[in-house]
Chain A
Amino acid sequence: MRRREIIAGAGAALLASPSVAAESTTLPAELPDGTRAVAQFVNLPDKRRMLRLTDRPPNYATPVNVFTDVVTPNDRFFVRYHLAGVPSAADMDGWSLTIGGDAVNRQIRLKMSDLLDLPTNQVLSVCQCAGNRRGFFDPHVAGVQWPDGGMGCAVWRGPALRDVLKAAGVKAEALEVWVGGADKPPMEGTPPFRKSIPIEKAMDGDTIVAIAMNNAPLPLLNGYPARLVVPGWTGTYWMKHLTNIEVSAEPLKNFWMQTAYRVPAGMFPVQLPFKSQATETTVPITELVVNSLIADPLEGDEVERSGFTIRGVAWDRGTGINRVEISLDGGRNWQDAMLEKPLGPYAYRRFSLPTGSLRPGTYKLMSRATNHAGERQADKLKTNPGGYHNNVPRPIAVVAR
């Protein structure tokens, strides 16, 4: 049977399966007890069902069942803020973007109409919180206790950052691009949330100022009206409500770059080292690690012993997914899943595996992805103080009847 037929057959079988339309209703047992006590599935004003971790500042995870699709709908896309001063849509009336700094020839201010006049780029890319799956760290570490859903994949559209910067005239000595947004610190002494990226990444044509997400305006809580999109890099650089950019010959020195969002030097692979922010011992967390997620069936589901199809997505920092393996027995034996056609190096790549008939009993499903650079998900958690980059395959228990 050809692959297409297998997938079509699996799809038909799935339509009859009761688990298809099911929403996640349970919280993973690995989360801290306190997290399990406060986290709730709720509906937000411009979102559908989301897992609320905290509401001020707002942190909402996407339910796992949503990841049966490559594109995460805007009204299911995760929300993450550091600072409680979230702007309203009205606050964004008359929005503009200033571009300045010591490494441009002139300071300029762009209105939305100016951005619309620039050539448009588009990228299908995963945006993943650096702390996604922190809640599964063992031992637990302090921070927002994300389960799996601190991520999403969308079609981001807008001018390339390099085209936006062109009007200001970038000087040869430019080292970093510093970005800031409209969200405000709650206290006078709280450092404003500002981040920087190296000039090489800023000049990559896939780094864009997104003014549309899945062919619609960005939801307020995902950065309306414009956010920076840095494909392959963790969400911390994807500045929401982007209002100011500075191009500088100096590294940005603040809490968000020098203290937070750092990992031990050499622990995780990167293609483009962020040299201007590196120290001997730590580096900023930048490129995503290879990872995957089973979105169907869900933890605790009853499945047909006549067979069911395991489905999910895999992603990495932009080399692309080369292989996904599935285990039904908690990681003892692995078999190759089928991969769907890649939709771009930064997008989710869907995988599936029909199990065939099974004996009744409990099965511990796991997925394990390998990227085109040959990097495979870690067998053992690489512990780090920030609780970042957890890509250890996680067993999903289901019962075949």
Chain B
Amino acid sequence: MNWRVAACRADYRVHKIATSTLDWKTTREDFPILREKAHGHPLIYFDSAATSQKPRAVIEALRNFYEHENANVHRGLHTLSSRATEAYENARHRVAEYIGAASPNEIIFTRGTTESINLVAEAWGRKFIREGDVILLTVMEHHSNLVPWQLLAERTGARLRFVPVRDDGTLELEQLSSLLTPEVKLFAFTHISNSLGTINPVADLCEKARAVGALTLVDAAQSVGHLPIDVRELGCDFLAFSGHKMCGPTGIGVLFGRAKVLDSMPPWQGGGEMIVSVALEKSAFKKAPHLFEAGTPNIAGAIGLAAAIDYIESIGRPAIFEHDSQLSRYAAERLKKLPGTRIFGPNKERGALVGFVMDAAHPHDLTTFADQYGLAMRGGHHCNQPLMRRFGVSGTTRASFYFYNTIEEIDRMIEILHAAARFFS
């Protein structure tokens, strides 16, 4: 089975690949920030699910753009504008390749996952959602894949439905047949849960949604930098993600939309870049993707994202996924053995993160304590308030990993947590 197939299989079995040829310690040196200290201790950065660190290649790409190519796109006839336009459109091309889109025209640059989802809720939702329609979500959605649909439902009279989450952090898939009725017009769900690490069987979910005529939107914020993704194999209609969680800059993100679906959608924001001609009373619009990119885009951000993709591809997503999985499995095993500690999420396959609570200390006390030892984790509800309620906690502590993290860092985390448990109890 190749990796692209593995990435969308329901049971998500990971086959062994040779990672021994990769020197992960050398990879760390590509990230200047990892030499930083926090409170006098070497930085242990376990907050990549919030935002990843940036390799020198991305930082250099941004600098190179501003030093040699900076101009506005699609409008100037001068040399720099041509360079900027070419670099920007090449970035679109690169993103399309990276996620297996049929054409660069299916790639819309946005500010991030949140804006991508809001774009769909506004542009697609306004035209196609009517009173009585149903938008199917899951209980594990990030607020960014929940609130836009609440707003749409309020405005249109549509209803929201939710796939429940089991105690082990996986979706109650046996409920799908009763939830996926013909009134469902869209099924929007996350690929990897940002709190639980659950990897959802995307291809399977998309297929089931298609069977009742519903479109699908996949929140790939936590997956797109960690494992191979091919939108055609997943079979989704929309896929949303951010650049900054995959080594790219902040403020740039992507909405993939299947060409046929994008072509059916009205514009979202109006302004420059998205028009063919403008008269005082009426305008003619460009086609997707430009139709959805009003105003000067984040040109440098798109170029930085393309550099991030080049960098990730130079390592290889299968190797990254294998490495991250080893880290999160190891962390989960060690955390489970800590006295008075409860971990969340599935036992077997999980994304590159572990959420946990300790009887001895509240997540905020724990993260404050850990920070004094140079360990950066996130404590709180992780923009997952309904999910936290589902598990009866107000928040968790989350350690999230990327390929620049090491087993030794996890050992150090466990030592620090031991010390915290002693201190607070």
**Do these two chains interact?**
no
Which B residues lie at the A interface, using CB under 8 A?
none
Which A residues lie at the B interface, using CB under 8 A?
none
